[in-house]
Structure 1
């Protein structure tokens, strides 16, 4: 695995571990958690974030388990039901395979497809029981829910297009470019992909500011993809979740991303037409990567 992909994976694992801590703490005393609306919302967002990160990196097993948990938390978030011991137990049993998958992912052998598929298959009956019990509790509470609003056991719901889904699709494309060896062509492609995200949150100045900051950082050839990829991918994905949740005022580029963007201002140097003097000026002003790119362009020009 190349260094850039390894670093992105590391960021995902660390972030996912934090989200799993949030889920575990909430589930271990679900009755108390249900009395605090914000804690329930945090659990829903935690499952949603793990699902989104896993989808972007192609870990479908983690995505599926997180999605089923998210469906359950969505019901807790939207309907005033009283949880019992059975519900708490089923949620914890559904949470365990998610923790197991993440543990295997960060282990020395990584997450093997056959093991991941088996864990997902074993978890399916648990989530079917969870959904059935949620339906029972809703019925006992006299809550009538339209069929189309309820998750159906064993059936993947097709959600309407949303900001997170749109952004995740673009981030996947950006991730593919980040995995390539840096060159002017794929750096320009990254800038264009990043720029296409401006339209996603076009009514939000905070969102546009974040995307423009990321674009500026990407544009600077002195920054390697190993440096850029984890930061850009993580900040844009997290910002999309804030926009989706109606928390656009909280969207802001980190100080690290702003620093990279600030350093991307194009420097100008004066060149004479005398080749040796021009070469000396360029060597003094350019870094190694910029020199390599310039040589490639010059070689193309003289062919």
Structure 2
């Protein structure tokens, strides 16, 4: 669990606000991803998806939820390359981002005390890193299965 006191200031009173905002951001991000047309992706949509991940990451880091912060950081890295047009969005990227969103819901539920087990995220992180580095989707699946980037 996170360190709840920072310099004598108790952050736990803000947990509920963070969890509510994170849930809203995840919902918005999922809708944007599900409605994404890979042939006509616009910068505004990519920026909106990035902002959702960025907001979750910032709050998670503030409250010491390192697992949430790490996964959203990896998502941000991929999304940043997409919005800078360094990579073209693919179905594999959308899939891994949606899977990551589901995993984030599980991580947040655990931090709220609503679930006992945290979802495994190492393979997701490996797949995101592989996609962000420009690897083919089949290589990314292998990377995720092995829990590391292959290459």
Contact 2:38 2:91 in 1 (8 A): no
Deviation at 1:46, TM superposition (A): 1.2
* Corresponding residue of 2:71: 65
Deviation at 1:136, TM superposition (A): 5.3
1:209-224 alignment to 2 at 5 Å?
none
* Corresponding residue of 1:120: 121
Give me the whole-angstrom Cα distance separating, in 1, the residues matched to 2:39 and 2:15: 31
State the TM-score, normalizing by the size of structure 1: 0.38
Give me the whole-angstrom Cα distance separating, in 2, the residues matched to 1:136 and 1:119: 23
Deviation at 1:35, TM superposition (A): 2.4
Give ranges in structure 2 of 5+ residues lacking alignment. Answer: 138-147
Contact 1:48 1:70 in 2 (8 A): yes
* Corresponding residue of 2:89: 83
Contact 2:38 2:90 in 1 (8 A): no
Q: Summarize the Cα distance change of 1:97–1:130 in structure 2 as closer, same or farther, 3 Å threshold.
A: farther
Contact 2:81 2:132 in 1 (8 A): no
Q: Deviations over 1:170-210 (max 9, x none)?
A: xxxxxxxxxxxxxxxxxxxxxxxxxxxxxxxxxxxxxxxxx
Q: Summarize the Cα distance change of 1:31–1:100 in structure 2 as closer, same or farther, 3 Å threshold.
A: same
Deviation at 1:131, TM superposition (A): 2.5
Deviation at 1:12, TM superposition (A): 0.4
What is the DSSP-based 3-state SS (H/G/I as helix, E as strand, rest coil) of the residue aligned with 1:41?
A: helix
State which of 111, 123, 142 in structure 2 corresponds to 1:105: 111
Larger radius of gyration between Structure 1 and Structure 2: 1
* Corresponding residue of 1:183: none
What is the DSSP-based 3-state SS (H/G/I as helix, E as strand, rest coil) of the residue aligned with 1:31?
A: coil
State the TM-score, normalizing by the size of structure 2: 0.70
Contact 1:50 1:63 in 2 (8 A): yes
Q: 1:31 and 2:37 equivalent?
A: yes
* Corresponding residue of 2:102: 96
CA RMSD, Structure 1 to Structure 2 (Å): 3.0
What is the DSSP-based 3-state SS (H/G/I as helix, E as strand, rest coil) of the residue aligned with 2:120?
A: helix
Contact 1:51 1:66 in 2 (8 A): yes
Q: Deviations over 1:190-233 (max 9, x none)?
A: xxxxxxxxxxxxxxxxxxxxxxxxxxxxxxxxxxxxxxxxxxxx
Give me the whole-angstrom Cα distance separating, in 1, the residues matched to 2:126 and 2:22: 24
Name the one with the larger helix percent: 1
Give me the whole-angstrom Cα distance separating, in 1, the residues matched to 2:95 and 2:82: 15
Deviation at 1:6, TM superposition (A): 3.9
